[in-house]
Amino acid sequence: MTRAAFDAMAAAARALTLSNAALAKFAPFPDAFRWSGRSGAGIDAAAQVARWLADGEGPEADLHRAVAAAAPHASWLHTYTEAEVGAHFLENYGYFELFGPVGHYDAGGYRAYVVYWNAGLVYDWHCHEAEELYVVLSGRAIFRSEGEPDVELTRGGTRFHASLQPHALETTDSPLLAYIVWRGGGLGDLPRMGRA
Protein backbone atom coordinates (compact mmCIF):
# COMPACT_ATOMS: atom_id res chain seq x y z
CA MET A 1 0.00 0.00 0.00
CA THR A 2 2.68 2.41 1.00
CA ARG A 3 4.88 1.59 -1.95
CA ALA A 4 1.96 2.01 -4.37
CA ALA A 5 1.24 5.47 -2.95
CA PHE A 6 4.84 6.52 -3.57
CA ASP A 7 4.93 5.02 -7.07
CA ALA A 8 1.78 7.02 -7.89
CA MET A 9 3.52 10.16 -6.65
CA ALA A 10 6.62 9.44 -8.73
CA ALA A 11 4.44 8.90 -11.82
CA ALA A 12 2.63 12.18 -11.17
CA ALA A 13 5.97 14.01 -10.80
CA ARG A 14 7.04 12.57 -14.16
CA ALA A 15 3.80 13.72 -15.82
CA LEU A 16 4.24 17.19 -14.31
CA THR A 17 7.81 17.42 -15.59
CA LEU A 18 6.77 16.37 -19.10
CA SER A 19 3.98 18.97 -19.13
CA ASN A 20 5.88 21.94 -17.66
CA ALA A 21 8.40 23.39 -20.11
CA ALA A 22 10.33 25.40 -17.51
CA LEU A 23 10.68 22.36 -15.28
CA ALA A 24 11.67 20.00 -18.10
CA LYS A 25 14.27 22.49 -19.30
CA PHE A 26 15.68 23.03 -15.81
CA ALA A 27 16.20 19.32 -15.15
CA PRO A 28 14.94 16.46 -17.32
CA PHE A 29 13.07 13.77 -15.42
CA PRO A 30 15.37 10.78 -14.75
CA ASP A 31 15.14 7.76 -17.02
CA ALA A 32 15.48 5.44 -14.06
CA PHE A 33 15.04 5.61 -10.31
CA ARG A 34 15.12 3.09 -7.51
CA TRP A 35 12.85 2.76 -4.45
CA SER A 36 14.92 3.39 -1.33
CA GLY A 37 12.64 1.54 1.05
CA ARG A 38 12.53 4.71 3.14
CA SER A 39 9.30 5.86 4.69
CA GLY A 40 8.43 7.88 7.74
CA ALA A 41 5.70 9.41 9.81
CA GLY A 42 4.84 12.23 12.09
CA ILE A 43 5.19 16.01 12.15
CA ASP A 44 2.18 18.28 12.13
CA ALA A 45 2.45 19.16 8.44
CA ALA A 46 1.84 15.55 7.37
CA ALA A 47 -1.69 15.62 8.74
CA GLN A 48 -2.34 19.07 7.29
CA VAL A 49 -1.27 17.91 3.83
CA ALA A 50 -3.28 14.69 4.08
CA ARG A 51 -6.39 16.77 4.85
CA TRP A 52 -5.85 19.31 2.05
CA LEU A 53 -7.91 18.04 -0.87
CA ALA A 54 -6.85 19.43 -4.24
CA ASP A 55 -9.48 20.85 -6.54
CA GLY A 56 -9.18 21.05 -10.30
CA GLU A 57 -7.49 18.95 -12.95
CA GLY A 58 -4.10 18.76 -14.60
CA PRO A 59 -0.66 17.52 -13.63
CA GLU A 60 -0.22 19.90 -10.66
CA ALA A 61 -3.54 18.84 -9.10
CA ASP A 62 -2.75 15.18 -9.83
CA LEU A 63 0.60 15.43 -8.05
CA HIS A 64 -1.05 17.26 -5.14
CA ARG A 65 -3.55 14.40 -4.76
CA ALA A 66 -0.76 11.81 -4.91
CA VAL A 67 1.18 13.77 -2.26
CA ALA A 68 -1.88 13.96 0.02
CA ALA A 69 -2.40 10.19 -0.27
CA ALA A 70 1.24 9.42 0.57
CA ALA A 71 1.63 12.17 3.20
CA PRO A 72 1.04 9.96 6.27
CA HIS A 73 3.90 7.67 5.17
CA ALA A 74 6.36 10.24 3.82
CA SER A 75 9.74 10.87 5.38
CA TRP A 76 9.00 14.44 6.49
CA LEU A 77 11.86 16.70 7.48
CA HIS A 78 12.48 20.15 8.94
CA THR A 79 15.62 21.84 7.70
CA TYR A 80 15.58 24.37 10.49
CA THR A 81 15.64 24.39 14.26
CA GLU A 82 13.11 26.06 16.53
CA ALA A 83 15.80 28.62 17.44
CA GLU A 84 16.08 29.61 13.78
CA VAL A 85 12.42 29.82 12.74
CA GLY A 86 10.26 29.39 15.86
CA ALA A 87 7.83 26.70 16.97
CA HIS A 88 4.87 28.09 15.02
CA PHE A 89 6.77 27.80 11.75
CA LEU A 90 7.79 24.20 12.47
CA GLU A 91 4.18 23.27 13.27
CA ASN A 92 3.02 24.60 9.92
CA TYR A 93 5.78 23.59 7.51
CA GLY A 94 7.49 20.46 6.32
CA TYR A 95 9.14 18.80 3.34
CA PHE A 96 10.29 15.45 2.11
CA GLU A 97 12.76 14.41 -0.54
CA LEU A 98 10.95 12.47 -3.26
CA PHE A 99 14.06 11.87 -5.38
CA GLY A 100 17.58 12.04 -3.99
CA PRO A 101 20.13 10.50 -1.67
CA VAL A 102 17.95 10.71 1.47
CA GLY A 103 14.63 10.51 -0.36
CA HIS A 104 12.14 7.86 -1.31
CA TYR A 105 13.84 7.15 -4.64
CA ASP A 106 17.47 7.28 -5.65
CA ALA A 107 17.58 8.86 -9.11
CA GLY A 108 21.24 9.48 -9.82
CA GLY A 109 21.92 13.22 -9.79
CA TYR A 110 18.26 14.24 -9.78
CA ARG A 111 17.12 15.78 -6.49
CA ALA A 112 13.50 16.86 -5.96
CA TYR A 113 11.39 17.77 -2.95
CA VAL A 114 7.77 18.26 -1.99
CA VAL A 115 7.38 21.22 0.37
CA TYR A 116 4.37 22.54 2.29
CA TRP A 117 3.71 25.83 4.11
CA ASN A 118 0.46 26.62 5.88
CA ALA A 119 -1.28 29.98 5.39
CA GLY A 120 0.10 33.05 7.11
CA LEU A 121 3.77 32.00 7.24
CA VAL A 122 6.87 34.02 6.51
CA TYR A 123 9.73 31.87 5.23
CA ASP A 124 12.53 34.31 5.81
CA TRP A 125 15.57 35.00 3.62
CA HIS A 126 17.78 32.00 2.98
CA CYS A 127 20.12 30.71 0.32
CA HIS A 128 22.04 27.70 -0.96
CA GLU A 129 24.64 26.93 -3.57
CA ALA A 130 22.45 24.67 -5.72
CA GLU A 131 20.27 26.23 -8.40
CA GLU A 132 16.58 25.71 -7.76
CA LEU A 133 13.24 25.70 -9.53
CA TYR A 134 9.90 25.91 -7.70
CA VAL A 135 6.68 24.71 -9.32
CA VAL A 136 3.50 25.63 -7.44
CA LEU A 137 1.17 22.62 -7.15
CA SER A 138 -1.60 24.31 -5.13
CA GLY A 139 -2.26 27.48 -3.20
CA ARG A 140 -0.28 30.66 -3.57
CA ALA A 141 2.54 32.69 -2.08
CA ILE A 142 4.51 35.87 -2.61
CA PHE A 143 8.02 34.99 -3.80
CA ARG A 144 10.89 37.35 -3.05
CA SER A 145 14.34 37.09 -4.66
CA GLU A 146 17.22 39.50 -4.17
CA GLY A 147 17.53 41.74 -7.23
CA GLU A 148 14.07 40.95 -8.62
CA PRO A 149 10.55 42.24 -8.06
CA ASP A 150 8.26 40.26 -5.77
CA VAL A 151 5.78 38.04 -7.56
CA GLU A 152 2.71 36.14 -6.40
CA LEU A 153 2.57 32.66 -7.89
CA THR A 154 -0.32 30.25 -8.14
CA ARG A 155 -0.73 26.74 -9.54
CA GLY A 156 1.69 25.98 -12.37
CA GLY A 157 3.80 29.07 -11.69
CA THR A 158 7.56 28.57 -11.57
CA ARG A 159 10.38 30.47 -9.90
CA PHE A 160 14.10 30.06 -10.56
CA HIS A 161 16.72 30.80 -7.90
CA ALA A 162 20.33 31.15 -9.02
CA SER A 163 23.23 29.75 -7.03
CA LEU A 164 23.51 31.62 -3.70
CA GLN A 165 20.75 34.08 -4.67
CA PRO A 166 18.92 34.94 -1.42
CA HIS A 167 15.18 34.29 -1.54
CA ALA A 168 12.17 34.23 0.76
CA LEU A 169 8.44 33.64 0.54
CA GLU A 170 5.27 34.53 2.37
CA THR A 171 1.94 32.74 2.33
CA THR A 172 -1.10 34.92 2.87
CA ASP A 173 -4.62 33.45 3.01
CA SER A 174 -3.78 30.06 1.48
CA PRO A 175 -1.29 27.30 2.17
CA LEU A 176 1.28 26.46 -0.49
CA LEU A 177 2.35 23.09 -1.86
CA ALA A 178 5.34 23.08 -4.21
CA TYR A 179 7.54 20.67 -6.14
CA ILE A 180 11.15 21.83 -5.99
CA VAL A 181 14.12 20.59 -8.03
CA TRP A 182 17.80 21.29 -7.34
CA ARG A 183 20.75 21.03 -9.72
CA GLY A 184 24.42 21.97 -9.91
CA GLY A 185 26.99 22.41 -7.14
CA GLY A 186 26.06 22.02 -3.50
CA LEU A 187 23.45 19.32 -4.12
CA GLY A 188 24.38 17.69 -0.83
CA ASP A 189 23.90 20.87 1.21
CA LEU A 190 20.90 22.22 3.10
CA PRO A 191 19.55 25.76 2.75
CA ARG A 192 20.74 28.16 5.44
CA MET A 193 18.93 31.14 6.86
CA GLY A 194 20.24 34.59 6.06
CA ARG A 195 21.05 36.64 3.00
CA ALA A 196 24.63 35.50 2.48
Task: Give the nearest distance from C-beta 141 to Zn ion in angstroms.
Answer: 13
Please give the Cα distance from 138 to 2 (Å, whole number). Answer: 23
Please give the Cα distance from 136 to 90 (Å, whole number). Answer: 20
Task: Give the nearest distance from C-beta 182 to Zn ion in angstroms.
Answer: 8
With beta carbons less than 8 A apart as the criterion, state whether 144 and 168 touch.
yes
**Which residue's C-beta sits nearest to Zn ion?**
132
What does the per-residue mask of binding to Zn ion show for 119-138, with x meaning CB under 5 A?
A: -------------x------
Q: Which is nearer to Zn ion, 62 or 132 (CB)?
A: 132
3-state secondary structure labels for all residues of 84-108: HHCHHHHHCEEEEEEECCCCCEECC
Q: Which is nearer to Zn ion, 39 or 158 (CB)?
A: 158
Quick check: 97 binds Zn ion (CB under 5 A)?
no
27-36 CB burial, b ≥16 within 10 A, e <16: bebbeebeeb
Task: Give the nearest distance from C-beta 123 to Zn ion in angstroms.
Answer: 9
The footprint of Zn ion on this chain (CB under 5 A) covers a number of residues equal to 1
Query: Of 134-193, which residues contact Zn ion (CB under 5 A)?
Result: none
Q: Which is nearer to Zn ion, 6 or 80 (CB)?
A: 80
With beta carbons less than 8 A apart as the criterion, state whether 103 and 128 touch.
no
Task: Give the nearest distance from C-beta 190 to Zn ion in angstroms.
Answer: 10
List of residues contacting Zn ion (CB under 5 A):
132
